[in-house]
Structure 1
Amino acid sequence: MPLLVPSAPAPALRSVLAALGSPTAVREARPAALRTAQGPLSPEFPLPVHVLDGIIPSGRPPRARLTGWRFLIRSGDRTVAAADSMLTPDGWAFSHFCEGPYITSSERALRQAEAMSTRYQPRLLSVPELYMLTLWLHDGPEAHTDAADTMPLPTDLLVPLAPAPPGIASHRPHRVADLLPLLTHRLAPPAAAPLLSQSA
């Protein structure tokens, strides 16, 4: 079933187009895949990027905050890289280009999602403490991707991208209600061993 692909903010898209159109506008060197690509490059399939904060038990509920938008960069019929824009105090600005396994894994996860019977809205959800990136499939067309803070619904799906943390299978969809407790357990500090009483 086709995904409900969200529309990126126009300034975020413009920042990526400017970076693609003018190599001198970007401080860092372009990835090799962009330097060797033949033909025009186009940013497609925008995905809002959220970072999950507060999943370590602290008495406060976790939250997912919007930090940027990622565009898959196509050259002909191939995805060769991705470009990220970030939210700054002055609005949306280009952040960086990226390549590597997450790009291929993102495409694979999106194809998985399109084959599902439910129509989802795709997002990316990052868990920095675990060096983990997931495709977040929101169950519902009513979502507002421009909201600064939001949380996955218990019925939403998270698809860990490869490479996933040890013990978590990549490309296996998990309900949020099932995966979040596992991540919380992973990040919980180990319980302190009880002190043995010493006899006088």
Structure 2
Amino acid sequence: MPLHVPPAPAPALRSVLTALRSPTAVRGSRTPAAVRTAHGTLRPELPLPVHEMARVRPADDGPRTRLTGWRFLLRDTGSAADGRSVGAAEAMLTADGWAFAYFCEGPYVTSTERALRQAESLSTDYQPRLLSVPELYMLTLWLHHDIGADAAEGTPEPSDVLIPLAPAPPGIAAHQPHRLDALLPLLTRRLVTAPLLRTSV
């Protein structure tokens, strides 16, 4: 079934496009090599809202999440490109509105593409999102069953599907789709005992 990719907020997209047009941002020392050495124009595609799962407490009724940003996969339009994403760009919400956050590369970029292809082969329509579980160093493709929902709102529901991206935490198979109600008990047990971290995936 086709995925119903939600539109990103226009200011979030503009912040990424502005960064891509900025030599300082694209050629910066902290910019991934694949982004710095792109053969053609970098085009942001497949915007995905990034939600972060809060630490789960035994008394909670279910997972609590909050929107932390929008991630765009970056395609290199150059003739030497193979059609795959060379990296990603993320916009974050600040007190002054949406702002470019950073470029990134690595296994989560290719794993996101693979998970999206997996999701397209499923028999149900979904709205794709990313769900970060910082305490477990875990990122998943979150397939929300309500395709018309506001992508910035909501929490995972029992019938939603999570596809852990690689690398996944020990004991959790990457690219194995799980209904939330099947995977959540495992995540809850681990989150209750996990060290408190303040970093995000």
Verify same fold: TM over 0.5: yes
2:125 is paired with a residue whose SS is coil
2:151 is aligned to: 145
The AA in structure 1 aligned to 2:101 is S
Deviation at 1:57, TM superposition (A): 2.4
Q: Deviations over 1:149-168 (max 9, x none)?
A: x2111000000000000000
1:166 is paired with a residue whose SS is coil
2:92 is aligned to: 86
The question of 1:65 aligning with 2:71 is answered no
Name which of structure 1's ranges 129-138 and 179-188 shifts more when overlaid on structure 2. Answer: 179-188
1:118 is aligned to: 124
2:114 is aligned to: 108
Per the alignment, do residues 104 and 59 of structure 1 end up closer, same or farther by CA in structure 2, a change over 3 Å counting?
Answer: closer
Q: Deviations over 1:110-150 (max 9, x none)?
A: 00001111111000000000000000000122211133xx2
Larger Rg: 1
1:188 is paired with a residue whose SS is helix
CA contact (8 A) 1:124 1:134 kept: yes
1:181 is paired with a residue whose SS is helix
The question of 1:34 aligning with 2:27 is answered no
2:2 is aligned to: 2
Unpaired runs of at least 5, structure 2: 78-82, 195-201
The AA in structure 2 aligned to 1:171 is H
CA contact (8 A) 2:55 2:192 kept: no
2:24 is aligned to: 24
- State the alpha-carbon separation in 1 of the partners of residues 104 and 193 from structure 2: 32
Per the alignment, do residues 101 and 123 of structure 1 end up closer, same or farther by CA in structure 2, a change over 3 Å counting?
Answer: same
- State the alpha-carbon separation in 1 of the partners of residues 122 and 61 from structure 2: 34
CA contact (8 A) 1:54 1:61 kept: no
- State the alpha-carbon separation in 1 of the partners of residues 158 and 62 from structure 2: 14
CA contact (8 A) 1:71 1:82 kept: yes
- State the alpha-carbon separation in 2 of the partners of residues 171 and 44 from structure 1: 21
Q: How many corresponding residue pairs? A: 188
Deviation at 1:187, TM superposition (A): 2.3
Per the alignment, do residues 4 and 88 of structure 1 end up closer, same or farther by CA in structure 2, a change over 3 Å counting?
Answer: same
Per the alignment, do residues 100 and 181 of structure 1 end up closer, same or farther by CA in structure 2, a change over 3 Å counting?
Answer: same
2:15 is aligned to: 15
The question of 1:130 aligning with 2:136 is answered yes
2:108 is paired with a residue whose SS is helix
Deviation at 1:59, TM superposition (A): 4.5
Q: Deviations over 1:59-83 (max 9, x none)?
A: 5643110010000000032210000
CA contact (8 A) 1:54 1:60 kept: no
Unpaired runs of at least 5, structure 1: 191-200
Alignment of 1:179-190 (within 5 A): 179-189=183-193
- State the alpha-carbon separation in 1 of the partners of residues 119 and 65 from structure 2: 21
